[in-house]
Amino acid sequence: MIKLTNVTKVFNKNRPNEFTAVRNVDLEISGSSITVFKGPSGSGKTTLLSLIGCMTKPTTGRIYIREEEISSLSDRFLTDIRRKTFGFIFQGLNLIRGITALENVMLPGYPTGETNCILRGKAIHLLASLNIAHKAESKVELLSGGEAQRIAIARALINEPAIIIADEPTAHLDTRLSIDFMDNMEKLKNSGKKILLASHDPLVYASEIVDRIIEMRDGLITKEQA
Amino acid sequence: MLWIERQRYFIDFALSSLMRRWRKNIALVIVYTLVVFILASIVFFTQAIKREACTVLEGSPDIIVQRLVAGRQDLIPARYADELRKITGVSEVRGRLWAYYFDPASSANYTVISTERPGRDEGCVLMGQGVARSMHAGKGDLIAIRGHDGSYQSFEVKDTFSSGSELVSADLIEMSGKDFRGLFGIQEAYFTDITMKVRNAQERTVVSRKVLNILPDTRPILRDEILRTYETAFAWRSGILLIIFTGSILAFLIFAWDKATSLSIEEKREIGILKAIGWDTGEVIVLKSWEGLIISLSSFLAGIIFAYIHVFFASSTIFEPVLKGWAVVYPRFRLVPSIDPYQITTLLFLTVLPYTIATIIPSWIASAIEPDSAMRL
Amino acid sequence: MIIDPAVIALFTGSFLVSLIILIASWLGLQIVMFWNLQCGSEKQLELEKWTYLVSTLMAYAFGFEILSLFLFVYTTDSLHNLFIGAMCAAGTLNTGTFGYHTLGIKILILILAGVWLVMNHVDGQAGDYPLIRKKYIFLLVIAPLVLLEGFLQSAYFLSLKADVITSCCGSLFSSSQTYGESPLSLMIGFPAGYLQAAFYGSAFLSSGLGFFYYRGFNKLGWFFTISSTGFFLISVFSLISFVSLYFYELPTHHCPFCILQREYYFIGYLLYGMLFGGVISGAGAGILSPFRKIGSLQGPLPIVQRRLTMTSLFLNFFFVAIVTWQMWHSNLVIDR
């Protein structure tokens, strides 16, 4: 379902600060599973995830999502695929301060033009399934770390994506909340979603729900274990 | 429908994002409103005063014939009127008497006219509100006017003109023909000038050509010409004022550009998040355009409303001296409120257009933030 | 030179629109030269971002061109008092040089910019920017016209001189200015009978072509473009030559501007709006037909084309309907 052939991403090409973040990566990920990208910071995990997540285009190489070659698509189409296929959970959670939790969850649905009552209903349903519905009208800056984490998960799910991408999701969480997070991921996996995680937290990559671990260093895939 | 729903979301979000940063936006809105207010005041004022002049001239004669002696205006003999009556197409010819009178007590210039209206009693005058104010005279009072021989004659103020058309009648004193001639020493056989009515509008030029043929020492003036001259003068004045204010518009634009380009870290972060969670560059531009539009429209509306109040209810206190610049007798008058899409479009071109163009590129730069920047925060 | 707030506004407007069109075409030129979607280089990514800027700039330019056309007509109309013999915009435009040229080029730019936006919209419907070079070359054609518009408009306003009283003389000497023959009078001179036939003939032809084109006869694309444009031109002619008479109910008043006034319930805005909408959507629909062969446009293009054709047919139909209704119910009787 996801296929990368010989993908390379270079930043600042032909300039003194030229930097190759990902080099010659070949990769295939299929089925509902949890894949963890493991490696030290600067190893290219984040860049690889943003390439897969259609956030940026490869300098060379091809990326296929559901048999469709995406590296030569227009920006607008890429965005369209991104919001229909992927849900993102970021390291810093990246919630927008000053608006309510509910609005944050609904935000990815705005450009799709879904009617307000359907979108709102979906958001409330998601919040309820994550046991956080009582915080729907709170401003996000007033939420605890664990609550904010669950809001971020709900936001990633609002457009019903097939693939969840999470970059260092447990970086700011304590052990209990990290375990909590992995439980939620397991639920999602069981509901048929494909999950891609980047992490160097043993709580994540050593978890028994993980199906596949890909180790990275200096933009290269160094080791794989299933 | 999908499109409308999307725009509703964008407007909602734009509003909430403006509110969240109201501290940054309030200064912009105030300056913007002020600029619109100034320009709108100028435009409204000129338009209204032009309209006023038109209304005034509506009742004035089609052609005025003056006599020139050695290149200067002189009294016109009454017999000239008989000559003019012979021209075909002329429906009415009438001699007029009018004068300027400088009143040393109130140190102001008034216009004195005589009318041959029946029932105009000798020894009585009618006066405009402006005259009444500066002479401190009201109905029933006696006023003294200095005649050509140095003696003062007193007149009873019979009434004052209604304030409706004050712009024209403000400095007016009206008296009977006999009093006028007595006061200024003008013989029966002379008038100040002669007025003519020509029924067919297209014949006016031909008639005035004939006047010149019959009476070579006269100068015929068409009403249309007076109108045209007034209009040019007012348009010119307001145009010049606008050009003077170009500087302040430019300053405003630089301010707006600066506001639009200097995104706070928080704003950049938000746009990065929006991009990352699935907003397209085009959609962020739409969001930013709505923000700009909301700022523009609210400031524009506020500016227009303030200007409207300023011009039509507060007598344009700020610009009066520059734009009117006539006599000292015109302290207070109220213009008839009028506003049309033409003035609004003009103002849009002078304010919203430059603002919008100044902010297109900054908002595009903001929206072009890479979506993966959110991954690296 | 006449200094008036509206004239200054028009100057400002044309200067700023020229500026953004210049920026847009400079970016467009870069895109035409260096575009390569297959390549993932940073330059290409940069160019892709620019396409958004160009679209935004053009959308605004189009909006301001509409307003500028309105303001231009309105300004010339309100300035008519300043000139002897000018009764409305028609007279003012004939005063000074390039009045009608400015109006003409404004209309042309409006139509072209509308068609450009249609093309841009279609291009955005496909995943791989199939029309990118074509639309930016088209943009490079529009840009000089906008600059020319700015030049003609400035020349026109600079050449205007109000007939005002000078201290030395009164009326007679100021009427010595003579003006050339108005292009309108040429249109008025056209025999109304033939034109009436041409008006209904072209309406019939254009709607017939549009109908078949809508039903899938793609070969008719260019013909539909030509017939829509033809209908537009003939309609403008007709409006001046005979349609206006029925609105004014005067046998000799041919002015194309007076119907914009309140006395005629602003009907002119509706009529001209429908004509412009009709020609932009009609010409746009037809011009796009050669691009149906492009793979990525095979899905979305026919949908857009059908919508445009439908819009054009509707607008033209209502235009003809209103005009015909007015001719039927007007109190004016013209003897032939």
Chains that touch A (3 or more CB pairs under 8 A): B, C
Residue B226 lies in a domain: no
Beta-carbon separation of B353 and C74 below 8 A: no
B217 and B237 together in one domain: no
- Find the closest chain A residue to C124 by CA distance: A76
Among C40, C52, C127, select the one facing A58 at the smallest CB separation: C40
Given an 8 Å threshold on Cβ–Cβ distance, is B269 in contact with A113?
no
Residues of chain C with C-beta less than 8 angstroms from the C-beta of B229:
164-165
Question: Which helix (H) or strand (E) is A91 found in, with range?
Answer: none
Q: B374 or B65: whose pLDDT is higher?
A: B65
Q: If you search the block for the tokens 């029309």, which residue do you land on?
A: C131
End of a domain among B221, B252, B281? B221
- Separation of alpha carbons C11 and A94, rounded Å: 46
Residues B201, B294: one domain? Answer: no
Of A12, A71, A76, which has the smallest distance from its Cβ to C40's Cβ?
A71
Predicted pLDDT of residue A118: 93
In a domain? residue B282:
yes
Contact criterion met (CB < 8 Å) for A76 and C37: no
pLDDT bin (cut points 50, 70, 90) of residue C33 is: very high
Residues B72 and B206 in one domain: yes
Test C172 with B205 for CB contact under 8 angstroms. Answer: yes
Q: How far apart are the CA of C130 and the nearest CA of chain A, in angstroms?
A: 10
In this prediction, residue B331 carries a pLDDT of 42
| pLDDT tens for each residue of A148-177 | 999 999 999 999 999 999 998 888 888 998
How far is A91 from chain B, CA to nearest CA, in Å? 7
Section A200-223 average pLDDT: 89
Q: Does B124 lie in the same domain as B153?
A: yes
Task: Pinpoint the alpha helices (H) of chain B.
Answer: 2-20, 22-58, 79-85, 129-135, 166-169, 177-184, 204-214, 223-261, 265-276, 281-312, 320-324, 341-350, 352-367
- What pLDDT digit, counting tens, does each position of A116-148 carry? 999 999 999 999 999 999 999 999 999 988 899
Q: Which of B221, B256, B274 corresponds to the end of one domain?
A: B221
- Find the helix packing angle between C42-78 and C132-159, rounded to 10°: 30
- How many domains are contained in chain B? 2
Interface probe with C: pick from B252, B353, B359, B365, most Cβ of C within 10 Å: B353
Q: Are A25 and A37 in contact (CB under 8 A)?
A: no
Same domain, B252 and B305: yes
B2 found inside a domain: no
Nearest to A84 by CA among A42, A105, A54, A62: A54
Q: Picking from A200-214, B201-215, C184-198, C205-219, which range would have the lowest pLDDT averaged per residue? A: C184-198
How many percent of chain C have pLDDT more than 90?
39
Same domain as B88, residue B143: yes
From CA A169, how far away is CA A89, in angstroms rounded? 7
Chain B residues touching C162 at Cβ < 8 A = 228, 231-232
State which of B221, B243, B266 marks the end of a domain.
Answer: B221
Give chain B positions within 8 Å (CB) of A97: 266
Place of tokens 């964008």: B10
Per the prediction, chain A carries an average pLDDT of 89
Determine which of C46, C123, C129 to mutate to test the interface with A (most A C-beta atoms within 10 Å): C129
Residue B104, domain CATH: 2.40.40.20
Task: Choose from B21, B367, B375, B376 for mutation: most chain A CBs within 10 A.
Answer: B375
Query: What sections of chain C are H helices per DSSP?
Result: 5-34, 42-78, 89-94, 99-125, 132-159, 171-174, 183-189, 192-214, 221-238, 244-248, 267-287, 300-329
Residues 26-45 of A with CB under 8 A from C: none
Same domain, B45 and B95: no
Task: Return d(Cα C96, Cα C158) in angstroms, integer.
Answer: 8
Residue B370 lies in a domain: yes
Find where tokens 């606008």 sit. B242
Distance, CA of A196 to CA of A4 (rounded, Å): 14
Report pLDDT digits (tens) over B90-132.
888 888 888 888 888 777 888 888 876 655 677 888 888 878 8
* Cβ contact, residue pair C127, A60, below 8 Å: no
Q: Is residue B5 part of a domain?
A: no
pLDDT digits (tens, 9 = 90+) for B216-273: 888 888 887 777 777 777 777 778 878 888 888 888 899 888 888 888 888 888 999 9
Range of the domain at B89: 63-221
DSSP classification of residue B46: H
Q: Do residues B235 and B260 both lie within one domain?
A: yes
Residues B128 and B76 in one domain: yes
For A:60-99, CB contacts with C below 8 A are: 60, 71-77
Strand, helix or coil at A64?
A: strand
pLDDT-derived band of residue C185, with 50, 70 and 90 as boundaries? low
Chain C residue numbers with beta carbons less than 8 Å from the beta carbon of A72 are 37-38, 128
- Does B273 reside within a domain? yes
- Same domain? B250 vs B366: yes
CA distances from C136 to B136, B231, C58, C268, C283 (A): 73, 45, 11, 34, 18
For residue B284, give the chain A residue with the closest CA.
Answer: A111
B4 falls within a domain: no
Rounded to whole angstroms, how far apart are CA atoms C54 and C240? 37
pLDDT score recorded for residue B326: 47
Cα(C86)–Cα(A162) distance, integer angstroms: 70
Give the pLDDT mean for A95-102: 92
